[in-house]
Structure 1
Amino acid sequence: MHPSPSAEAELAAELDSVRPGLSASYAAALPGARAAVLTRLWRALAHEPLPWIARREPTADGLTLHLTDGRRLHGPPADPYATAAYVTEVRLDARPYERAAELVTALGVPHGDAFAVELGRSTASLALSRAGQPEDAPEPESSRAWEQRVVDGHPYHPNCRSRPGFSVAEQLAYGPEHRPSVRLGLVAVDDCLLRGKWPEWLWDGERALIPVHPWQTAHVLGIPAQDGPVAHPLMSLRTLALPDDGPHVKTALSARLTSSVRDISVQSVERSPAVSEFVESIAARTDGLLQVTRTLGAISAHSPDLAAVIRESPEMYADRARGERVVPVAALPLTGLPASPDWLAAFTRLALTVGLQLLDLGVALEAHGQNLLVVLAPTGAPLRLVYRDLADIRVSPARLARHGIKAPELADRMVTDDETTLRRKLFGSLVAGALGSTAGAAPVLRAALERAVRDLPRTPDLAVLRQEPLPTKALTLMRLSPQRPGDQWARLPNPLFTEIVLKHAPIDQ
């Protein structure tokens, strides 16, 4: 399996037939997309524990990676928290590479061919996503509209826009950055697992109706679906918002997006209302600083490929009469607010206060930029947080017991008392992920963290946060290790005690 060197051209040819009006914009977006994916890949090469990298050597003009086979990779200094695309070229021995897919192919590492195919598609799809953006769009008025502004996907994953199995027409029809309206399908089932209160409009007599994504209907289910409501896709692609601030519908989508196949397990449906009620009760201990979008109902036709979850919209937790608004953390850089050191320090303090308090109680949130939202005052000041999608939290019965809290019955994969696992879950998603990408650079993150931690209670978790390298998922290592399921981790320089000196500038976007 080899990456086609014409992956960009193949998408261009399909675009010419589907939406020729975007062809010129797509071509213009390709250089920036190549740099964006190469920057993400270089971050991984510089910081992840890849077994074929023997050592890393800082140099006067950048960073050299010594491979186990004697070859050398050379590129610019690698800021682990940078979000701007600044890597336009990496040299393998004397040969320069501008495309991530071609570099991985040249490296010849195990499982690299499949990964290179994904990188080529990610680059092309990212250029497509950028090509369709309006120049003078009005200020978003809802969290949904803000989500659609997040064009580049995951800020650190080289597969940030990899959508295997999606044609160009389907990307344009279903990708939130293209701002489409998507008509959900409805599948009636006689035998199902149903938890919570299923909405009245999702019944056909005695049979429950399961909302399905049209891509799932076309490519996976092989059964007809009746027309359902029109909805708006959100950042996760498979979750869609119903109109007029209606609830969000999480559908099964059996496609590999970035790292994982996105389905809905039977066990998660079984436990979802109990998990929702439990986390809501824990969030109530934050004195209003954290709200959790409740799971209203969940259903499965005893299959991860045909299931859905209905949950509240985050808009419910903003007081519009007071001028409040809700913005996903992933979209915060687009507001311009993080440019203010005072604002960024205040947001960092809020996020760490909530995250560390819940961790001390026994709940480690997967608080990355997609799951975490912030309620802003009319002035832009961060007031409180909203958390959604509880599928990937971790819960410690031992920590709960120390606070006199009984753990509910949870899915086995959610339960752990391992301190490292709990801290990795929160620190990797919130600090190395959400806060890092909001700051956009190591020196900026360092300044915000230094100001924020001064006011936080001195807990064992905070001590670890201040004294050890920051964990982050080794996303590239995971893609190159298909034989090893589950998360793998890298350790990033901690800005709180490591001075990261970088000399580079982002390229034009």
Structure 2
Amino acid sequence: MDRVDLKPPTDAAGRPTDDIGRRADAYAAAPLLNCLLREVAQPLPDAAGDRPVHRLPGTGRLLRVRAGRRPADPEVHVGGAWQRIGHTELVKLVAEELRRHTGQPNGDLPAEMIDSRDTVAALLTARARTTAPEDPYVRSEQSLITGHPYHPAPKARGGGPVAAWLPYAPEAHARFPLVLLGVREDQVAEEGDTRALDALGTAPPGYRLLPAHPWQLDLLARDLAPAFADGRLLRLGTTEYDVWPTAAVRTVYEPARDMFLKFSLDVRITNDIRRLWRHDLRRLCRTDTAARTAFGAMGGPAAWLSDRGYRTAAFAFEELAVLTRDGLRGHLLPGATPLLAAGLAEDFEGSPLTAAPDPDAWWEAYLRQVVPPVLTAFGDHGVVLEAHLQNSLVAVDASGMPVQALFRDAEGTKLLPEVSRAAGWERLVYCLVVNHLSEIAAALAEHHPGLDPWPAVRRELARHGLPEIPALLAAPTLPGKTNLLLRWTGADGADARYLPLPNPLATG
């Protein structure tokens, strides 16, 4: 990849500029404020308007922000006046509030919040000196400077030095070759279709080819030294071509070969250490087969990007695991361009959402592609897709109109009755409606003032005969995931906890 200069930007006199710092503060404050306002703060009833006031119940302090889907400019009431606070002060305020609100300390999360902000600053610096990819799909995958809009530290990279992770950061438009390892044949563990891995290079006799993410190899250097020393592992060089990291960071794409690979990465990103865990790999083929069967029965145009199989080393089963995923071209409609849904919410350059000449028609087309396959998979096949913004692709035609949806990630997919129908439905509603449709609807309304996106969502949902739909359309609340409290209390990232949010679908 092109090496990125890590030095901060300077003015004509060589002094560091603070524009990057201000922008990083704003980017990092928005999701943290979203979490605080959703999960903890209490809105004051007479404080509506563009700067609503909230009471923080733990400390009793008053907080006001500039309202919007990305809240900004936080202020606290001190000595009879409103005082503006930056990101560092906001982190301190949130930490003190959560200590009192929960009765629990947390030594890690404040540091992760600061790390997330510093990561954004490094990414903004890098993006100012690199060129975005021409491919609109890759550009959409690499556009997420905000990231998860309701997570307190969405861009944290494990607290390591910038030089360790920036060469592999999708948001910095990174690209890099994969490291090729040879695993002794008696140490190979695999399941499913892994033929795509054998096409990456040539392993010597008695060994099988195993690609590795270079960042993960750096993290594992000490642990893997014995395996390299005794010949269980060999270094065979690198791929002759670069791969592009996608929004998930640990998943990469190679456009010329139309190939996706997903790796373990021993770094906490949002709620979890991003390993391919043994228990998930063991159920992968069953889950993926169920999803492929469901989409096959639908007859298109919606598509499932299959996680065909995995390969790893038995002595580092989770650490070196790599998963093979279907490419795009075998699933796309002719002439359609796939785009990451999260990129549409982030407003990447060239997004058709911002330029839609008829936003109502665009939104109705979007809903027709995204909603039916998720509901059909659940109702007809017992497959609970994790159809959030980062697992959903929307393909558009030459005019920018949505014509197809593609879904991915067997690791996050659940099956009935492994989870109860009620729990599966709650998860579906959170991922599809709260995480996904709410964000796209808000972005669309922001760019097209006066648009009310929710009647179209109600009409699309009402077309489907699931018994849960009438209750969803009448319920006063929807489930909102509590990422701030989940991280503060140290709950497992997979242990989703929800609180009630006002339901914009409710007709009253």
User: Match for residue 228 of structure 1?
Assistant: 238
CA gap of 1:29–1:344, structure 2 versus 1, over 3 A, is farther
Which position in structure 2 is the counterpart of 1:59?
Answer: 46
Report the Cα offset of residue 271 of structure 1: 3.2
**TM-score scaled to structure 2, two decimals?**
0.81
Partner of 2:193: 197
Partner of 1:133: 127
Residue in 2 that maps onto 1:97 = 85
Alignment match of 1:116 (pick from 110, 121, 126): 110
Taking structure 1 as reference, are residues 265 and 387 closer, same or farther at Cα in structure 2, changes over 3 Å only? same
Residues 113 and 274 (structure 1 numbering): CA distance in 2 closer, same or farther, change over 3 Å?
closer
Deviation at 1:317, TM superposition (A): 2.2
Deviations 1:335-357 (A, max 9, x none): 44334232123212332222222
Matching residue's letter, 1:341: D
1:130–1:434 CA distance, 2 compared to 1 (3 A): farther
In structure 1, the partner of 2:432 is: 430
Give the Cα–Cα distance (whole angstroms) in 2 for the partners of residues 363 and 92 of structure 1.
49
Identify if the C-alpha distance between structure 1 residues 26 and 234 changes in structure 2 by more than 3 Å, giving closer, same or farther.
Answer: farther
Deviation at 1:137, TM superposition (A): 5.9
Q: Would the aligned equivalents of 2:30 and 2:149 in 1 still touch at CA under 8 Å?
A: no
Q: Does 1:337 align with 2:352?
A: yes
**Partner of residue 291, structure 1:** 303
1:236-264 Cα deviation digits (max 9, x unpaired): 11111124043111111011011110001
The structure-2 alpha-carbon separation of the partners of 1:208 and 1:26, relative to structure 1 and needing over 3 Å to count, comes to: farther
Give the 5 Å matches for 1:10-89.
19-20=6-7, 22=9, 27-48=18-39, 50=40, 55-61=42-48, 62-69=52-59, 71-76=60-65, 82=69, 84=70, 86-89=71-74
- Structure 2 CA distance, aligned partners of 1:28 and 1:165? 23
Give CA-to-partner distance per residue, 1:352-409, whole Å, 9 cap, x none.
2222222212111111111110111111111111111110111113xxxxxxxxxxxx
How big is the shift at 1:477? Answer: 0.9
Mapped to 2, the partners of 1:461 and 1:446 lie a distance apart of: 27
Q: Per the alignment, in what secondary structure is the counterpart of residue 149 of structure 1? A: coil
Deviations 1:1-22 (A, max 9, x none): xxxxxxxxxxxxxxxx953264
- Separation in 2, partners of 1:164, 1:395: 31
1:20-46 residue CA offsets vs partner (Å, 9 max, x unmatched): 264669731221221232222222122
Indicate if the aligned counterparts of 1:345 and 1:449 stay in contact, CA closer than 8 A.
no
Report whether the alignment pairs 1:156 with 2:150: yes
Aligned to 2:231: none
Counterpart Cα distance in 2 of 1:488 and 1:358: 24
Which stretch has the larger CA shift, 289-298 or 114-123? Answer: 289-298
Larger deviation: 380-389 or 353-362? 353-362
- Which SS does the other structure have where 1:58 is aligned? coil
**SS, match of residue 244 in structure 1:** coil
Please list every run of 5 or more consecutive structure 1 residues that lacks an aligned counterpart in the other structure: 1-16, 398-414, 500-509
**1:446: how far off?**
8.5
Report the CA distance between 1:138 and its aligned residue. Answer: 7.1
Residue 460 of structure 1 pairs with residue 474 of structure 2 = no
Q: Distance in 2 between matches of 1:481 and 1:215?
A: 29
Q: Distance in 2 between matches of 1:337 and 1:186?
A: 38
Query: Given that residues 392 and 405 in structure 2 are in contact (C-alpha distance below 8 angstroms), is that contact kept between their aligned partners in structure 1?
Result: yes
Q: Secondary structure at the match of 2:400?
A: coil
Q: 1:350 aligns with which of 369, 380, 399?
A: 369
CA contact (8 A) 2:265 2:273 kept: yes
SS in 2 for 1:209: strand
**What is the CA RMSD across the aligned residues, in angstroms?**
2.9
Change (3 A) 1:19 1:139: closer
Distance 2:147 2:441 in 1: 16
Structure 1 contact 130–152 (Cα < 8 Å) conserved? no
Between the aligned partners of 2:66 and 2:146, the Cα distance in structure 1 is 22
Q: Which structure 2 residue ranges, 5 or more long, are not aligned?
A: 229-234
Return the alpha-carbon distance in structure 2 between the equivalents of residues 66 and 180 of structure 1: 40
Structure 1 residues 239 and 139 mapped into 2: Cα distance closer, same or farther (>3 Å)? closer
SS in 2 for 1:447: coil
Specify the alignment match of 1:470 in structure 2.
478
Tell me the CA shift for residue 176 of structure 1: 0.7
Residue identity matched to 1:357: T
Task: Percent identity, please.
Answer: 22
Report if aligned partners of 1:56, 1:65 keep a CA contact under 8 Å in 2. yes
Amino acid aligned to 1:476: L
2:274 is matched with: 262
Task: Specify the SS of the correspondent of 2:150.
Answer: coil
How many equivalent pairs are there? 454
The alpha-carbon deviation at position 112 of structure 1 amounts to 4.2
1:451 equivalent among 440, 453, 456? 456
The residue number in structure 2 matching 1:492 is 501
Separation (CA, whole Å) in 1 of partners of 2:284 and 2:21? 42
Which amino acid is 2:309 matched to?
G
Paired position in structure 2 for 1:417: 420
Helix, strand or coil for the counterpart of 1:117?
helix
How far apart are the structure 2 equivalents of 1:237 and 1:26? 29
For the Cα contact (< 8 Å) 2:27–2:145, is it kept in 1?
A: no
1:495 alignment partner AA: P
The 8 Å contact of residues 446 and 495 in structure 1, kept in 2 or not, is answered as no
Instruction: Decide which of 378, 403, 407 is 1:383's aligned counterpart.
Output: 403
Q: Secondary structure at the match of 2:283?
A: helix
Which has the higher mean CA deviation after the structures are superposed, 457-466 or 138-147?
A: 138-147
Give the Cα separation in 2 of the matches to 1:461 and 1:231: 42
- Output the CA distance in 2 between the equivalents of 1:23 and 1:465: 53
Does 2:469 correspond to 1:479? no
Change (3 A) 1:92 1:178: same
Instruction: After TM superposition, give the deviation of residue 108 of structure 1 in Å.
Output: 6.1
Give distance in 2, aligned partners of 1:489 and 1:247: 36
Partners in 1 of 2:17 and 2:384 — Cα distance? 40
C-alpha deviation, 1:180, in angstroms: 2.0
Query: TM-score by structure 1 length?
Result: 0.81
Structure 2 CA distance for partners of 1:484 and 1:380, relative to 1, 3 Å: closer
SS of 2:489's equivalent in the other structure is coil
